[in-house]
Amino acid sequence: MGWIGDSVQSIRSLQIRQLLSQIVTLGTIGALALIIWKVLMCVTGSESPVVVVLSGSMEPGFQRGDILFLQMSKDPIRAGEIVVFHVDGRDIPIVHRVIKVHEQQDTGEVNILTKGDNNFIDDRPLYAQGQLWLQQHHIMGRAVGLFPYVGWVTIIMTEKPILKYLLIGGLGLLFITSKD
Amino acid sequence: MGMHSFGNRANAFVTFAVTILAVMCSLASLSDNFNVHTPTADVKVFNINWFQKQPNGNDEVSLTLNISADLSSMFTWNTKQVFVFVAAEYETPQNALNQVSLWDGIIPSKEHAKFWIHTTNKYRFIDQGSNLRGKDFNLTLHWHIMPQTGKMFADKIVMTGYRLPEEYR
């Protein structure tokens, strides 16, 4: 009768080992994704190396759903650059073009005015109350390249969160039930 | 699950397709680097319409420009549009550099890339301060090549020798 107990024990330890190895694999994938993101942050010098275009204010150059690649350097912001900035108190990054620059003599500080290519008026109404200009520290990065359509995945998952849960749930289920 | 299950095949297919797509987009963008740019541009100040000091103490000028340019060499098969703008650049005692965009436009295709336009300034030419009387300034024509996919290119032509009137008018 001892061999029944032995095989039950070996099956149980096999399942525990399998579960643990799956957890480690999941953790490794997560850590790899994080490492890639952080390396991109270092290489591009920007907090957010990639951003999704959410509005039509830069059409037809940038369409909703495009992905923009960002870089940030210490070089002063100049007219014509497409920059990404946050307005105080708002989460959503805005991607617009710099149309005016005033750089001070002693401090080198810049006052910037931005405007979406497809907008009729400049961005002053978007800035915080009483704020007439953006400064260098408001700028998160400059757009240097684009990849069309791929950002739609993010937009759909943000606007229809149920799809996000379905996707994660589905992936999780697939992972648990896989035998290798 | 066997070697050739639907899941495995779908996974292999999607991975391969996405990789090929990424490679093709990178090649498309790389091909833009071989394009030789031969732009021409000319901007003339047709008229100074008015030149005043605002109540808040800042100088403002309204001008009419004649802008002509040929940017057709910027277009490749990977180009979505070329954004073009003309900016005034000048220095003042307070500011090492002032760049003020006066006019901009979008060139949607190579056929529209050779153009001539007679226009008043689209954006207000306002100084930070009252430094514009008799001010020497440059007019720069900038272009920003926006691709279907990949890297954006930007450059400019600087034209010097412009000067604002000594007196308000």
Q: How would you class A48 by CB atoms within 10 Å of its CB: exposed for 0-12, middle for 13-18, buried for 19 or more?
A: middle
Q: Is residue B169 part of a domain?
A: no
Q: Which two tokens stand for residue A77?
A: 């912001």
Give mean pLDDT, residues A157-172.
77
Asked if the model's pLDDT at residue B161 lies above 70, the reply is yes
Q: Mutating which of A50, A98, A105, A124 best tests the B interface, going by the most B Cβ atoms within 10 A?
A: A105
What is the ipTM score, two decimals? Answer: 0.88
Q: Cβ–Cβ of B7/A174 closer than 8 Å?
A: yes
Which pLDDT tens digit goes with each residue over A98-137?
Answer: 999 999 999 989 999 999 999 999 999 999 888 999 999 8
What are residue B155's DSSP bridge partners?
Answer: B143
Cβ neighbours of B101 in A, within 8 Å: 79-80, 99-100
Q: Is residue B58 part of a domain?
A: yes
Name the more confident of A24 and A111: A111
User: How distant is the Cα of B99 from the closest Cα of chain A, in angstroms?
Assistant: 5
The ranges assigned to domains in chain A are 1-44, 50-149
Name the more confident of A34 and A117: A117
Asked if the model's pLDDT at residue A2 lies above 90, the reply is no
Residues B29 and B58 in one domain: no
Domain A50-149 has CATH 2.10.109.10: yes
Q: Element (H or E) spanning A144, and its range?
A: strand A139-147
Query: Could you tell me the pLDDT band of residue B10, with boundaries at 50, 70 and 90?
Result: confident
Give mean pLDDT, residues A65-87.
91
* Overall domain count for chain B: 2
Which pLDDT tens digit goes with each residue over B106-129?
Answer: 999 999 999 999 999 999 999 999
Give mean pLDDT, residues B77-83.
94
Residues of chain A with pLDDT > 90, as a percent, come to: 38
Residues B69 and B144 in one domain: yes
Asked if the model's pLDDT at residue A180 lies above 60, the reply is no
User: How distant is the Cα of B15 from the closest Cα of chain A, in angstroms?
Assistant: 15
Report the alpha-carbon distance of residue A18 to residue A22 in Å, rounded. Answer: 6
Give mean pLDDT, residues A58-72.
92
Residues B23 and B51 in one domain: no
Q: Is residue B122 part of a domain?
A: yes
Give the angle subtended at the CA of B114 by the CAs of B113 and B120, to the nearest 5°.
95
Q: Cβ–Cβ of B123/A122 closer than 8 Å?
A: yes
Is residue A50 less than 8 Å (CB to CB) from chain B?
no
Residues B22 and B41 in one domain: no
Q: Cβ–Cβ of B93/A105 closer than 8 Å?
A: yes
Report the alpha-carbon distance of residue B105 to residue B125 in Å, rounded. Answer: 17
Question: Which amino acid, A94?
Answer: I
Residues B4 and B46 in one domain: no
Cβ neighbours of A105 in B, within 8 Å: 93-96
- Domain hosting B13: range is 1-34
- List residues of A with catalytic annotation: 57, 96, 123
Query: According to the 3-state scheme, what is the secondary structure of A32-93?
Result: HHHHHHHHHHHHHCCCCCEEECCCCCCCCCCCCCCEEEEECCCCCCCCCCEEEECCCCCCCC
Report the alpha-carbon distance of residue B149 to residue A148 in Å, rounded. Answer: 6
Report the alpha-carbon distance of residue A54 to residue A77 in Å, rounded. Answer: 23
In angstroms, the Cα distances linking B79 to A28, A60, B26, B113, B155 are 40, 12, 14, 12, 15
Helix (H, G, I), strand (E, B) or coil at A124: helix
Maximum mean pLDDT: which of A51-65, A157-171, B28-42, B137-151: B137-151
Cβ neighbours of B147 in A, within 8 Å: 145-146
Contact predicate A142/A127, CB 8 Å = no
Q: Is residue B168 part of a domain?
A: no
Give the residue carrying structure tokens 């996707």: A167
Query: According to the 3-state scheme, what is the secondary structure of chain B?
Result: CCCCCHHHHHHHHHHHHHHHHHHHHHHHHHHHHHCCCCCEEEEEEEEEEEEEECCCCCEEEEEEEEEEEECHHHCCCCEEEEEEEEEEEECCCCEEEEEEEEEEEEECCHHHCEEEEEEECCCCEECCCCCCCCCEEEEEEEEEEEECCEECEEEEEEEEEEECCCCCC
pLDDT of residue A10: 64
Question: Which amino acid, B14?
Answer: V
Asked if the model's pLDDT at residue B39 lies above 80, the reply is yes
Residues B84 and B131 in one domain: yes
Where residue B98 sits, what CATH number does that domain have? 2.60.40
Residues B15 and B60 in one domain: no
Is residue A104 less than 8 Å (CB to CB) from chain B?
yes
Contact predicate A139/A77, CB 8 Å = yes
Asked if the model's pLDDT at residue A168 lies above 60, the reply is yes
Residues contacting residue A29 through CB under 8 Å, at least 6 positions apart: none
Q: Is residue B20 part of a domain?
A: yes
Query: Could you tell me the pLDDT band of residue A179, with boundaries at 50, 70 and 90?
Result: low
pLDDT of residue A8: 67
Residues B4 and B77 in one domain: no
Cβ neighbours of B123 in A, within 8 Å: 99-100, 122
What are residue B48's DSSP bridge partners?
Answer: B63
Report the alpha-carbon distance of residue B38 to residue A20 in Å, rounded. Answer: 62
Query: Could you tell me the pLDDT band of residue B141, with boundaries at 50, 70 and 90?
Result: very high
Asked if the model's pLDDT at residue B21 lies above 90, the reply is no
pLDDT of residue B124: 96
pLDDT of residue A7: 67
In whole numbers, what is the pLDDT of chain A averaged over residues?
85
Note the pTM of the prediction, 2 decimals: 0.83
What are residue B157's DSSP bridge partners?
Answer: B141
Q: Is residue B114 part of a domain?
A: yes
Report the alpha-carbon distance of residue A162 to residue A7 in Å, rounded. Answer: 43
